[in-house]
Structure 1
Amino acid sequence: MKIQHFHFSAMASPCQLHLLGDNTQCRRAAAAVEQEVRRIEQKYSRYRDDSVLSELNQRAGQTCNIDAETAYLLNYARVCWQQSDGLFDISSGVLRQQWDFRNARLPDPQQLQTLLPRVGFDRCQLLQHNEQHQLLMPAEMEIDFGGIGKEYAADRAAALCRQHGIHSGVVDLGGDLLVLGPKPDGSPWLLGVRHPRDPDKAFAQLPVYEGGMATSGDYERYFDHQGRRYCHLLNPSSGWPVDYWASVTVLAPSCLLAGSFSTIAMLKQQQAQDWLQQQSLHFLAIRPDGSHISQRNH
Protein backbone atom coordinates (compact mmCIF):
# COMPACT_ATOMS: atom_id res chain seq x y z
CA MET A 1 0.00 0.00 0.00
CA LYS A 2 1.07 3.55 -0.63
CA ILE A 3 -0.12 6.91 0.61
CA GLN A 4 -3.04 8.29 -1.41
CA HIS A 5 -3.40 12.07 -1.49
CA PHE A 6 -6.68 13.98 -1.87
CA HIS A 7 -7.31 17.73 -1.94
CA PHE A 8 -10.40 19.91 -1.70
CA SER A 9 -11.38 23.32 -0.33
CA ALA A 10 -13.92 23.83 2.44
CA MET A 11 -14.44 26.05 5.48
CA ALA A 12 -12.39 28.75 3.77
CA SER A 13 -9.35 26.46 3.97
CA PRO A 14 -7.32 24.06 1.83
CA CYS A 15 -8.08 20.52 2.97
CA GLN A 16 -5.83 17.50 2.45
CA LEU A 17 -6.14 13.80 3.16
CA HIS A 18 -3.10 11.53 3.23
CA LEU A 19 -4.46 8.00 3.54
CA LEU A 20 -2.83 4.58 3.55
CA GLY A 21 -4.98 1.95 1.85
CA ASP A 22 -5.90 0.55 -1.53
CA ASN A 23 -7.00 3.00 -4.19
CA THR A 24 -10.72 2.20 -4.15
CA GLN A 25 -10.91 2.16 -0.37
CA CYS A 26 -9.18 5.53 -0.09
CA ARG A 27 -11.27 7.15 -2.82
CA ARG A 28 -14.50 6.10 -1.15
CA ALA A 29 -13.26 7.40 2.20
CA ALA A 30 -12.13 10.70 0.69
CA ALA A 31 -15.48 11.23 -1.04
CA ALA A 32 -17.33 10.55 2.23
CA VAL A 33 -15.03 12.92 4.12
CA GLU A 34 -15.48 15.76 1.66
CA GLN A 35 -19.26 15.34 1.77
CA GLU A 36 -19.26 15.35 5.59
CA VAL A 37 -17.00 18.40 5.90
CA ARG A 38 -19.21 20.32 3.48
CA ARG A 39 -22.32 19.24 5.43
CA ILE A 40 -20.85 20.63 8.66
CA GLU A 41 -19.78 23.82 6.90
CA GLN A 42 -23.24 24.39 5.45
CA LYS A 43 -24.95 23.63 8.76
CA TYR A 44 -22.82 25.89 10.95
CA SER A 45 -21.46 28.62 8.66
CA ARG A 46 -22.03 32.15 9.92
CA TYR A 47 -21.80 33.32 6.30
CA ARG A 48 -24.88 31.42 5.12
CA ASP A 49 -28.34 32.78 5.82
CA ASP A 50 -29.80 29.27 5.59
CA SER A 51 -27.47 27.68 8.16
CA VAL A 52 -28.63 26.36 11.52
CA LEU A 53 -26.28 28.82 13.18
CA SER A 54 -27.77 31.82 11.36
CA GLU A 55 -31.26 30.70 12.31
CA LEU A 56 -30.28 30.48 15.98
CA ASN A 57 -28.79 33.97 15.86
CA GLN A 58 -31.86 35.37 14.14
CA ARG A 59 -34.05 33.90 16.88
CA ALA A 60 -32.02 35.18 19.82
CA GLY A 61 -34.37 35.93 22.69
CA GLN A 62 -36.63 32.99 21.79
CA THR A 63 -36.44 29.35 22.83
CA CYS A 64 -35.24 27.28 19.85
CA ASN A 65 -35.33 23.54 19.35
CA ILE A 66 -31.92 22.15 18.41
CA ASP A 67 -30.76 18.71 17.30
CA ALA A 68 -28.38 16.46 19.21
CA GLU A 69 -25.31 17.44 17.17
CA THR A 70 -25.86 21.15 17.80
CA ALA A 71 -26.53 20.46 21.48
CA TYR A 72 -23.24 18.54 21.68
CA LEU A 73 -21.26 21.44 20.21
CA LEU A 74 -22.98 23.99 22.46
CA ASN A 75 -22.35 21.87 25.54
CA TYR A 76 -18.72 21.52 24.52
CA ALA A 77 -18.51 25.31 24.10
CA ARG A 78 -19.95 25.71 27.58
CA VAL A 79 -17.27 23.44 29.03
CA CYS A 80 -14.62 25.50 27.21
CA TRP A 81 -16.08 28.66 28.72
CA GLN A 82 -15.89 27.10 32.19
CA GLN A 83 -12.37 25.68 31.74
CA SER A 84 -11.06 29.01 30.45
CA ASP A 85 -12.67 31.17 33.16
CA GLY A 86 -14.80 32.80 30.48
CA LEU A 87 -11.99 33.56 28.03
CA PHE A 88 -13.15 31.05 25.39
CA ASP A 89 -16.54 32.49 24.53
CA ILE A 90 -18.39 31.61 21.31
CA SER A 91 -20.50 34.76 21.70
CA SER A 92 -17.46 37.06 21.40
CA GLY A 93 -17.56 37.10 17.60
CA VAL A 94 -19.77 40.19 17.77
CA LEU A 95 -16.62 42.13 18.69
CA ARG A 96 -15.45 41.72 15.08
CA GLN A 97 -17.91 44.46 14.17
CA GLN A 98 -15.37 46.96 15.50
CA TRP A 99 -12.19 45.23 14.34
CA ASP A 100 -11.18 45.82 10.72
CA PHE A 101 -8.15 43.59 10.17
CA ARG A 102 -8.33 43.93 6.39
CA ASN A 103 -7.86 47.68 6.49
CA ALA A 104 -5.63 47.67 9.60
CA ARG A 105 -7.86 50.01 11.54
CA LEU A 106 -8.10 50.21 15.32
CA PRO A 107 -11.61 50.27 16.76
CA ASP A 108 -13.23 53.20 18.45
CA PRO A 109 -12.88 52.32 22.17
CA GLN A 110 -16.32 53.67 23.02
CA GLN A 111 -17.98 51.75 20.20
CA LEU A 112 -16.13 48.60 21.26
CA GLN A 113 -17.35 49.11 24.81
CA THR A 114 -20.97 49.13 23.64
CA LEU A 115 -20.56 45.58 22.25
CA LEU A 116 -19.26 44.02 25.47
CA PRO A 117 -22.71 43.60 27.10
CA ARG A 118 -23.68 41.35 24.18
CA VAL A 119 -20.88 38.90 25.08
CA GLY A 120 -21.30 36.20 27.72
CA PHE A 121 -22.08 32.63 26.69
CA ASP A 122 -22.78 31.75 30.33
CA ARG A 123 -26.06 33.63 29.92
CA CYS A 124 -27.27 31.13 27.32
CA GLN A 125 -29.58 28.43 28.61
CA LEU A 126 -29.21 24.89 27.28
CA LEU A 127 -32.34 22.93 28.11
CA GLN A 128 -33.22 19.27 27.72
CA HIS A 129 -36.62 17.68 28.14
CA ASN A 130 -36.73 13.96 27.43
CA GLU A 131 -34.92 13.69 24.07
CA GLN A 132 -35.58 17.29 23.01
CA HIS A 133 -32.79 19.87 23.25
CA GLN A 134 -33.44 23.60 23.35
CA LEU A 135 -31.40 26.79 23.37
CA LEU A 136 -32.40 30.18 24.75
CA MET A 137 -29.97 33.01 23.97
CA PRO A 138 -30.34 36.57 25.25
CA ALA A 139 -31.71 38.99 22.67
CA GLU A 140 -28.99 40.60 20.50
CA MET A 141 -26.47 37.86 21.30
CA GLU A 142 -24.73 36.08 18.42
CA ILE A 143 -22.73 32.87 18.55
CA ASP A 144 -20.42 31.17 16.08
CA PHE A 145 -18.44 27.96 16.02
CA GLY A 146 -15.28 29.48 14.52
CA GLY A 147 -13.20 28.13 17.38
CA ILE A 148 -14.47 24.54 17.27
CA GLY A 149 -16.22 23.86 13.94
CA LYS A 150 -13.24 22.91 11.77
CA GLU A 151 -11.72 20.85 14.57
CA TYR A 152 -14.99 18.99 15.04
CA ALA A 153 -15.09 18.36 11.29
CA ALA A 154 -11.55 16.90 11.40
CA ASP A 155 -12.63 14.43 14.07
CA ARG A 156 -15.72 13.47 12.07
CA ALA A 157 -13.54 13.03 8.98
CA ALA A 158 -11.23 10.71 10.89
CA ALA A 159 -14.18 8.64 12.13
CA LEU A 160 -15.36 8.18 8.55
CA CYS A 161 -11.88 7.10 7.41
CA ARG A 162 -11.83 4.46 10.14
CA GLN A 163 -15.31 3.29 9.15
CA HIS A 164 -13.86 2.70 5.68
CA GLY A 165 -11.10 0.58 7.17
CA ILE A 166 -8.33 3.17 7.02
CA HIS A 167 -6.31 3.35 10.22
CA SER A 168 -3.13 5.06 9.05
CA GLY A 169 -2.90 8.54 7.61
CA VAL A 170 -3.44 12.22 8.29
CA VAL A 171 -6.53 14.42 7.98
CA ASP A 172 -5.56 18.08 7.48
CA LEU A 173 -8.33 20.68 7.42
CA GLY A 174 -6.52 23.96 6.99
CA GLY A 175 -3.87 23.08 9.57
CA ASP A 176 -6.20 21.36 12.03
CA LEU A 177 -4.80 17.84 11.99
CA LEU A 178 -5.90 14.38 13.03
CA VAL A 179 -3.52 11.43 12.77
CA LEU A 180 -5.45 8.20 12.27
CA GLY A 181 -2.62 5.97 13.45
CA PRO A 182 1.10 5.34 12.98
CA LYS A 183 2.73 4.44 9.70
CA PRO A 184 2.67 0.74 8.78
CA ASP A 185 6.18 0.29 10.19
CA GLY A 186 5.00 1.67 13.53
CA SER A 187 6.82 4.99 13.18
CA PRO A 188 5.10 8.34 13.86
CA TRP A 189 4.09 10.96 11.34
CA LEU A 190 6.21 14.09 11.53
CA LEU A 191 3.93 17.13 11.57
CA GLY A 192 5.38 20.56 10.97
CA VAL A 193 4.65 23.53 13.21
CA ARG A 194 4.65 26.74 11.20
CA HIS A 195 7.08 29.44 12.21
CA PRO A 196 4.83 32.27 13.43
CA ARG A 197 7.06 34.95 11.90
CA ASP A 198 8.20 33.13 8.74
CA PRO A 199 5.30 31.33 7.02
CA ASP A 200 7.60 29.51 4.60
CA LYS A 201 9.50 27.78 7.40
CA ALA A 202 8.66 25.16 9.98
CA PHE A 203 9.58 26.09 13.54
CA ALA A 204 9.63 22.42 14.57
CA GLN A 205 8.49 18.96 13.57
CA LEU A 206 6.52 16.96 16.09
CA PRO A 207 6.26 13.15 15.98
CA VAL A 208 2.62 12.04 16.29
CA TYR A 209 1.44 8.43 16.41
CA GLU A 210 -2.27 9.12 16.79
CA GLY A 211 -4.59 11.98 17.75
CA GLY A 212 -5.15 15.64 17.05
CA MET A 213 -2.78 18.56 16.62
CA ALA A 214 -3.86 22.19 16.34
CA THR A 215 -2.16 25.55 16.47
CA SER A 216 -3.58 28.90 17.48
CA GLY A 217 -1.54 31.98 16.64
CA ASP A 218 -1.39 35.70 16.03
CA TYR A 219 -0.47 35.40 12.34
CA GLU A 220 -3.69 34.42 10.55
CA ARG A 221 -5.71 37.64 10.86
CA TYR A 222 -3.75 40.56 12.22
CA PHE A 223 -2.20 43.93 11.52
CA ASP A 224 0.78 45.75 12.97
CA HIS A 225 0.36 49.30 14.25
CA GLN A 226 3.02 51.46 15.91
CA GLY A 227 5.18 48.47 16.75
CA ARG A 228 2.40 46.32 18.19
CA ARG A 229 0.64 43.35 16.62
CA TYR A 230 -3.16 43.23 16.86
CA CYS A 231 -4.50 39.73 16.16
CA HIS A 232 -8.00 38.28 15.87
CA LEU A 233 -7.90 36.53 19.26
CA LEU A 234 -9.83 38.90 21.47
CA ASN A 235 -10.27 38.95 25.23
CA PRO A 236 -14.08 38.86 25.65
CA SER A 237 -13.90 41.00 28.79
CA SER A 238 -12.00 43.91 27.24
CA GLY A 239 -12.58 43.41 23.52
CA TRP A 240 -8.84 43.83 22.82
CA PRO A 241 -6.42 41.26 21.36
CA VAL A 242 -4.05 39.10 23.34
CA ASP A 243 -0.34 39.51 22.61
CA TYR A 244 1.72 37.30 24.92
CA TRP A 245 2.23 34.28 22.62
CA ALA A 246 2.92 34.17 18.89
CA SER A 247 1.49 30.66 18.67
CA VAL A 248 0.56 27.67 20.79
CA THR A 249 0.45 24.13 19.39
CA VAL A 250 -1.23 21.35 21.36
CA LEU A 251 -1.42 17.58 20.85
CA ALA A 252 -4.51 15.88 22.25
CA PRO A 253 -6.59 12.72 21.73
CA SER A 254 -8.93 14.62 19.39
CA CYS A 255 -8.56 17.63 17.11
CA LEU A 256 -11.46 19.32 18.92
CA LEU A 257 -9.57 19.13 22.21
CA ALA A 258 -6.29 20.22 20.63
CA GLY A 259 -7.91 23.23 18.96
CA SER A 260 -9.81 24.49 21.98
CA PHE A 261 -6.83 23.96 24.30
CA SER A 262 -4.49 25.87 21.98
CA THR A 263 -6.94 28.77 21.72
CA ILE A 264 -7.54 28.87 25.47
CA ALA A 265 -3.78 28.91 26.03
CA MET A 266 -3.40 31.91 23.72
CA LEU A 267 -6.18 33.70 25.60
CA LYS A 268 -4.72 32.86 29.02
CA GLN A 269 -1.49 34.62 28.07
CA GLN A 270 0.95 34.59 31.05
CA GLN A 271 -1.08 31.92 32.85
CA ALA A 272 -1.00 29.53 29.90
CA GLN A 273 2.20 27.67 30.78
CA ASP A 274 1.03 26.51 34.20
CA TRP A 275 -2.44 25.74 32.86
CA LEU A 276 -1.12 23.64 29.95
CA GLN A 277 1.22 21.71 32.23
CA GLN A 278 -1.72 20.86 34.46
CA GLN A 279 -3.55 19.33 31.48
CA SER A 280 -0.73 16.78 30.97
CA LEU A 281 -0.72 17.31 27.21
CA HIS A 282 2.17 17.87 24.84
CA PHE A 283 2.46 21.49 23.73
CA LEU A 284 4.81 23.93 22.05
CA ALA A 285 4.30 27.61 22.93
CA ILE A 286 6.27 30.23 20.98
CA ARG A 287 6.72 33.83 22.10
CA PRO A 288 6.87 36.76 19.64
CA ASP A 289 10.68 36.97 20.09
CA GLY A 290 11.07 33.32 19.00
CA SER A 291 11.80 31.88 22.45
CA HIS A 292 9.61 28.92 23.33
CA ILE A 293 8.60 26.38 25.94
CA SER A 294 7.44 22.83 25.35
CA GLN A 295 6.29 19.78 27.22
CA ARG A 296 6.24 16.20 26.05
CA ASN A 297 4.29 13.53 27.91
CA HIS A 298 4.95 9.91 27.09
Structure 2
Amino acid sequence: MPIASLRHSFQAMGTVCEVELCAAPDQAERALAAILAEVERLERRYSRYRSDSLLAEINRVAAGGGSIEVDLETQSLLDYAQACYEQSEGLFDITSGILRRAWCFDSGQAPSEKQIQSLLPKIGWDKVRWRPPRLSFSIPGMELDLGGIVKEYAVDRAAALAINCGVRSGMVNLGGDVKILGPRPDGRPWRVGIRHPRRAGLLTALQVREGAIASSGDYARCMIVNGQRFGHILNPKTGWPVQHLAAVTVLGELCTVAGSAATIAILKEAQGPDWLKALGLPHLWISVSGEIGGAI
Protein backbone atom coordinates (compact mmCIF):
# COMPACT_ATOMS: atom_id res chain seq x y z
CA MET A 1 0.00 0.00 0.00
CA PRO A 2 1.55 3.38 -1.02
CA ILE A 3 2.61 5.76 1.74
CA ALA A 4 1.76 9.43 1.45
CA SER A 5 2.57 12.40 3.65
CA LEU A 6 -0.45 14.43 4.74
CA ARG A 7 0.30 17.83 6.30
CA HIS A 8 -2.30 20.09 7.85
CA SER A 9 -2.00 23.35 9.80
CA PHE A 10 -4.78 24.79 11.92
CA GLN A 11 -5.53 27.09 14.84
CA ALA A 12 -6.63 25.61 18.14
CA MET A 13 -6.24 26.27 21.85
CA GLY A 14 -5.04 29.79 21.11
CA THR A 15 -2.02 28.69 19.10
CA VAL A 16 -0.77 27.46 15.72
CA CYS A 17 -0.95 23.69 15.32
CA GLU A 18 0.41 21.29 12.71
CA VAL A 19 0.00 17.61 11.97
CA GLU A 20 2.02 15.52 9.53
CA LEU A 21 0.97 11.93 9.00
CA CYS A 22 2.82 9.40 6.84
CA ALA A 23 0.51 6.53 5.96
CA ALA A 24 -1.80 5.17 3.31
CA PRO A 25 -4.02 8.06 2.15
CA ASP A 26 -7.23 6.65 3.65
CA GLN A 27 -5.51 6.00 7.01
CA ALA A 28 -4.01 9.49 7.08
CA GLU A 29 -7.31 11.18 6.21
CA ARG A 30 -9.16 9.18 8.84
CA ALA A 31 -6.51 9.98 11.45
CA LEU A 32 -6.54 13.69 10.62
CA ALA A 33 -10.32 13.87 10.96
CA ALA A 34 -10.12 12.10 14.34
CA ILE A 35 -7.35 14.43 15.55
CA LEU A 36 -9.19 17.62 14.57
CA ALA A 37 -12.38 16.42 16.22
CA GLU A 38 -10.57 15.45 19.42
CA VAL A 39 -8.67 18.72 19.75
CA GLU A 40 -11.91 20.63 19.19
CA ARG A 41 -13.69 18.48 21.78
CA LEU A 42 -11.06 19.08 24.42
CA GLU A 43 -10.98 22.81 23.74
CA ARG A 44 -14.77 22.91 23.97
CA ARG A 45 -14.68 21.12 27.33
CA TYR A 46 -11.74 22.76 29.07
CA SER A 47 -11.21 26.22 27.57
CA ARG A 48 -11.28 29.04 30.10
CA TYR A 49 -12.31 31.38 27.28
CA ARG A 50 -15.63 29.66 26.56
CA SER A 51 -18.63 30.35 28.75
CA ASP A 52 -20.19 27.04 27.64
CA SER A 53 -17.21 24.83 28.57
CA LEU A 54 -17.22 22.30 31.38
CA LEU A 55 -14.43 24.31 33.00
CA ALA A 56 -16.63 27.40 32.96
CA GLU A 57 -19.36 25.40 34.69
CA ILE A 58 -16.89 24.24 37.34
CA ASN A 59 -15.71 27.80 37.88
CA ARG A 60 -19.25 29.10 38.28
CA VAL A 61 -19.66 26.56 41.07
CA ALA A 62 -16.26 27.54 42.50
CA ALA A 63 -17.22 31.22 42.51
CA GLY A 64 -20.07 30.45 44.87
CA GLY A 65 -18.10 28.07 47.07
CA GLY A 66 -20.17 25.08 45.97
CA SER A 67 -19.46 21.53 44.81
CA ILE A 68 -19.89 19.59 41.59
CA GLU A 69 -19.49 16.01 40.36
CA VAL A 70 -17.27 15.52 37.31
CA ASP A 71 -16.89 12.76 34.70
CA LEU A 72 -14.10 10.19 34.53
CA GLU A 73 -11.91 12.10 32.07
CA THR A 74 -12.02 15.22 34.21
CA GLN A 75 -11.33 13.11 37.27
CA SER A 76 -8.15 11.80 35.67
CA LEU A 77 -7.01 15.32 34.79
CA LEU A 78 -7.67 16.53 38.35
CA ASP A 79 -5.85 13.50 39.77
CA TYR A 80 -2.87 14.35 37.59
CA ALA A 81 -3.02 18.01 38.61
CA GLN A 82 -3.01 16.93 42.24
CA ALA A 83 0.03 14.71 41.63
CA CYS A 84 1.84 17.67 40.03
CA TYR A 85 0.88 19.88 42.98
CA GLU A 86 2.37 17.35 45.40
CA GLN A 87 5.48 16.68 43.27
CA SER A 88 6.17 20.41 42.98
CA GLU A 89 5.54 21.11 46.68
CA GLY A 90 2.60 23.33 45.82
CA LEU A 91 4.18 25.28 42.95
CA PHE A 92 2.21 23.65 40.12
CA ASP A 93 -1.25 24.76 41.16
CA ILE A 94 -4.30 24.80 38.87
CA THR A 95 -6.02 27.29 41.18
CA SER A 96 -3.42 29.99 40.41
CA GLY A 97 -4.94 31.07 37.09
CA ILE A 98 -6.91 33.68 39.03
CA LEU A 99 -3.68 35.71 39.09
CA ARG A 100 -4.36 36.79 35.51
CA ARG A 101 -6.82 39.25 37.02
CA ALA A 102 -3.77 41.15 38.26
CA TRP A 103 -1.34 40.32 35.45
CA CYS A 104 -2.34 41.71 32.05
CA PHE A 105 0.71 41.23 29.87
CA ASP A 106 -0.73 43.31 27.05
CA SER A 107 -0.91 46.37 29.31
CA GLY A 108 2.83 46.75 29.82
CA GLN A 109 2.20 47.53 33.47
CA ALA A 110 3.01 45.34 36.47
CA PRO A 111 0.33 45.01 39.15
CA SER A 112 0.69 46.41 42.63
CA GLU A 113 1.52 44.18 45.58
CA LYS A 114 -1.91 45.08 46.96
CA GLN A 115 -3.61 43.64 43.85
CA ILE A 116 -1.67 40.41 44.17
CA GLN A 117 -2.23 40.08 47.91
CA SER A 118 -5.99 40.38 47.36
CA LEU A 119 -5.90 37.23 45.19
CA LEU A 120 -3.50 34.98 47.13
CA PRO A 121 -6.11 33.86 49.72
CA LYS A 122 -8.12 32.33 46.85
CA ILE A 123 -5.18 30.26 45.58
CA GLY A 124 -4.21 26.80 46.80
CA TRP A 125 -5.18 23.30 45.70
CA ASP A 126 -5.04 22.38 49.38
CA LYS A 127 -8.08 24.62 49.86
CA VAL A 128 -10.08 22.46 47.45
CA ARG A 129 -11.75 19.26 48.63
CA TRP A 130 -11.26 16.62 45.94
CA ARG A 131 -13.06 13.36 46.66
CA PRO A 132 -13.72 11.82 43.24
CA PRO A 133 -16.09 12.34 41.63
CA ARG A 134 -16.99 15.36 43.80
CA LEU A 135 -15.06 18.59 43.70
CA SER A 136 -15.85 21.10 46.46
CA PHE A 137 -14.70 24.67 47.04
CA SER A 138 -14.69 25.92 50.61
CA ILE A 139 -13.62 29.47 49.72
CA PRO A 140 -15.92 31.45 47.38
CA GLY A 141 -14.21 33.15 44.46
CA MET A 142 -11.73 30.41 43.58
CA GLU A 143 -11.34 29.07 40.03
CA LEU A 144 -9.48 26.37 38.15
CA ASP A 145 -7.29 26.73 35.06
CA LEU A 146 -6.23 23.54 33.26
CA GLY A 147 -4.16 25.37 30.66
CA GLY A 148 -0.95 23.83 31.98
CA ILE A 149 -2.20 20.31 31.28
CA VAL A 150 -4.88 20.14 28.59
CA LYS A 151 -2.84 21.11 25.51
CA GLU A 152 -0.23 18.47 26.28
CA TYR A 153 -2.99 15.97 27.05
CA ALA A 154 -4.52 16.83 23.67
CA VAL A 155 -1.20 16.02 21.98
CA ASP A 156 -1.14 12.57 23.60
CA ARG A 157 -4.78 11.94 22.72
CA ALA A 158 -4.22 13.02 19.11
CA ALA A 159 -1.19 10.76 18.76
CA ALA A 160 -3.08 7.79 20.22
CA LEU A 161 -5.95 8.31 17.78
CA ALA A 162 -3.55 8.45 14.83
CA ILE A 163 -1.91 5.21 15.92
CA ASN A 164 -5.35 3.61 16.28
CA CYS A 165 -6.00 4.57 12.66
CA GLY A 166 -2.88 2.70 11.57
CA VAL A 167 -0.42 5.61 11.36
CA ARG A 168 3.09 4.60 12.44
CA SER A 169 5.06 7.59 11.21
CA GLY A 170 4.16 11.18 11.88
CA MET A 171 4.20 14.25 14.06
CA VAL A 172 1.62 16.14 16.11
CA ASN A 173 2.55 19.70 17.07
CA LEU A 174 0.15 21.80 19.15
CA GLY A 175 1.83 25.13 19.73
CA GLY A 176 5.30 23.67 20.27
CA ASP A 177 4.18 20.66 22.30
CA VAL A 178 5.13 17.74 20.07
CA LYS A 179 4.60 13.99 19.83
CA ILE A 180 6.56 11.93 17.31
CA LEU A 181 4.69 8.75 16.36
CA GLY A 182 7.66 6.99 14.81
CA PRO A 183 10.55 7.67 12.43
CA ARG A 184 9.99 8.92 8.90
CA PRO A 185 9.10 6.19 6.39
CA ASP A 186 12.74 6.00 5.28
CA GLY A 187 13.90 5.58 8.88
CA ARG A 188 15.25 9.08 9.36
CA PRO A 189 14.39 10.96 12.57
CA TRP A 190 12.21 14.04 12.70
CA ARG A 191 13.93 17.37 13.30
CA VAL A 192 12.35 19.35 16.15
CA GLY A 193 13.59 22.89 16.67
CA ILE A 194 13.86 24.35 20.18
CA ARG A 195 13.30 28.10 20.25
CA HIS A 196 15.86 30.38 21.86
CA PRO A 197 14.10 32.30 24.65
CA ARG A 198 16.00 35.57 24.14
CA ARG A 199 16.72 35.97 20.44
CA ALA A 200 15.35 35.05 17.04
CA GLY A 201 16.16 31.55 15.87
CA LEU A 202 16.78 28.20 17.51
CA LEU A 203 18.64 27.26 20.65
CA THR A 204 19.13 23.80 19.19
CA ALA A 205 17.44 21.19 17.00
CA LEU A 206 16.69 17.66 18.17
CA GLN A 207 16.65 14.52 16.05
CA VAL A 208 13.77 12.42 17.37
CA ARG A 209 12.42 9.08 16.17
CA GLU A 210 9.71 8.60 18.78
CA GLY A 211 8.40 10.28 21.92
CA ALA A 212 7.21 13.63 23.20
CA ILE A 213 8.92 17.00 23.46
CA ALA A 214 7.48 19.86 25.50
CA SER A 215 8.91 23.26 26.41
CA SER A 216 8.06 25.91 28.94
CA GLY A 217 9.51 29.38 29.23
CA ASP A 218 9.09 33.06 29.90
CA TYR A 219 9.13 34.01 26.21
CA ALA A 220 5.57 33.04 25.22
CA ARG A 221 3.96 35.97 27.04
CA CYS A 222 6.02 38.59 28.79
CA MET A 223 6.49 42.30 29.27
CA ILE A 224 9.39 44.56 30.18
CA VAL A 225 8.72 47.28 32.74
CA ASN A 226 11.51 49.73 33.66
CA GLY A 227 14.06 47.33 32.23
CA GLN A 228 12.78 44.32 34.18
CA ARG A 229 11.36 41.34 32.34
CA PHE A 230 8.18 39.73 33.68
CA GLY A 231 7.19 36.35 32.22
CA HIS A 232 3.80 34.67 32.41
CA ILE A 233 4.84 31.76 34.65
CA LEU A 234 3.77 32.87 38.11
CA ASN A 235 4.69 31.50 41.51
CA PRO A 236 1.32 30.74 43.14
CA LYS A 237 2.72 31.40 46.61
CA THR A 238 3.98 34.92 45.88
CA GLY A 239 1.90 35.89 42.85
CA TRP A 240 5.02 37.13 41.04
CA PRO A 241 6.78 35.74 37.92
CA VAL A 242 9.67 33.34 38.32
CA GLN A 243 13.07 34.85 37.54
CA HIS A 244 15.69 32.09 37.29
CA LEU A 245 15.14 29.81 34.26
CA ALA A 246 14.20 31.33 30.91
CA ALA A 247 13.23 28.05 29.21
CA VAL A 248 13.13 24.31 29.81
CA THR A 249 12.59 21.48 27.32
CA VAL A 250 11.85 17.93 28.44
CA LEU A 251 11.63 14.71 26.42
CA GLY A 252 9.45 11.82 27.53
CA GLU A 253 7.04 9.16 26.44
CA LEU A 254 4.00 11.34 27.15
CA CYS A 255 3.67 15.01 26.29
CA THR A 256 1.52 15.54 29.39
CA VAL A 257 4.41 14.44 31.61
CA ALA A 258 7.08 16.29 29.64
CA GLY A 259 5.08 19.53 29.71
CA SER A 260 4.32 19.52 33.42
CA ALA A 261 7.92 18.56 34.21
CA ALA A 262 9.21 21.53 32.20
CA THR A 263 6.84 23.90 33.99
CA ILE A 264 7.61 22.52 37.46
CA ALA A 265 11.33 22.95 36.79
CA ILE A 266 10.84 26.62 35.93
CA LEU A 267 8.66 27.14 39.01
CA LYS A 268 11.39 25.63 41.18
CA GLU A 269 13.73 28.41 40.01
CA ALA A 270 17.34 27.77 41.19
CA GLN A 271 16.41 24.24 42.31
CA GLY A 272 14.96 23.44 38.86
CA PRO A 273 18.11 22.00 37.25
CA ASP A 274 18.79 19.61 40.15
CA TRP A 275 15.12 18.57 40.21
CA LEU A 276 15.25 17.79 36.48
CA LYS A 277 18.44 15.78 36.91
CA ALA A 278 16.83 13.72 39.67
CA LEU A 279 13.72 13.20 37.52
CA GLY A 280 15.86 11.35 34.99
CA LEU A 281 14.19 12.49 31.77
CA PRO A 282 16.29 13.97 28.94
CA HIS A 283 16.11 17.75 29.22
CA LEU A 284 17.67 21.07 28.34
CA TRP A 285 17.50 24.35 30.25
CA ILE A 286 18.72 27.90 29.82
CA SER A 287 18.80 30.44 32.62
CA VAL A 288 17.88 34.11 32.36
CA SER A 289 21.63 34.85 32.50
CA GLY A 290 22.28 32.62 29.47
CA GLU A 291 23.74 29.58 31.24
CA ILE A 292 22.79 26.34 29.50
CA GLY A 293 22.57 22.88 31.06
CA GLY A 294 20.94 19.50 30.92
CA ALA A 295 21.44 16.45 28.75
CA ILE A 296 19.43 15.44 25.70
One fold, TM greater than 0.5? yes
Partner of 2:98: 94
Q: Which whole-Å CA distance do the structure 2 matches of 1:182 and 1:122 have between them? A: 43
Alignment of 1:127-276 (within 5 A): 127-128=131-132, 133-138=133-138, 139-199=140-200, 201-276=201-276
Residue 288 of structure 1 and its aligned partner are, at CA, apart by: 2.4
Match of 1:15 among 14, 17, 25: 17
* In the alignment, structure 1 residue 110 sits paired with structure 2 residue 114: yes
Residue 227 of structure 1 and its aligned partner are, at CA, apart by: 2.2
Q: Which whole-Å CA distance do the structure 2 matches of 1:289 and 1:278 have between them? A: 23
What are the superposed Cα offsets for residues 209-239 of structure 1, whole Å, 9 maximum, x if unpaired? 2211111011111101222210110000110
RMSD: 1.1
| Range with bigger deviation, 57-66 or 30-39 | 57-66
| Range with bigger deviation, 90-99 or 285-294 | 285-294
Residue 289 of structure 1 and its aligned partner are, at CA, apart by: 3.4
Q: Which whole-Å CA distance do the structure 2 matches of 1:193 and 1:230 have between them? A: 21
Judge conservation of contact 1:90–1:145 (CA < 8 Å) in 2: yes
Partner of 2:43: 41
Classify the secondary structure of the residue corresponding to 2:268. helix
In structure 2, the gaps of 5 or more residues are none
Which residue type is aligned with residue 103 of structure 2? Answer: W
Residue 189 of structure 1 and its aligned partner are, at CA, apart by: 1.6
In structure 1, the gaps of 5 or more residues are none
Residue 268 of structure 1 and its aligned partner are, at CA, apart by: 0.6
Q: Which whole-Å CA distance do the structure 2 matches of 1:88 and 1:278 have between them? A: 18
Residue 11 of structure 1 and its aligned partner are, at CA, apart by: 0.5
| Range with bigger deviation, 201-210 or 78-87 | 201-210
Percent identical residues? 46
Which residue type is aligned with residue 210 of structure 2? Answer: E
Residue 23 of structure 1 and its aligned partner are, at CA, apart by: 1.8
Residue 2 of structure 1 and its aligned partner are, at CA, apart by: 3.7
Classify the secondary structure of the residue corresponding to 2:245. coil
Residue 160 of structure 1 and its aligned partner are, at CA, apart by: 0.4
Q: Which whole-Å CA distance do the structure 1 matches of 2:208 and 2:291 have between them? A: 23
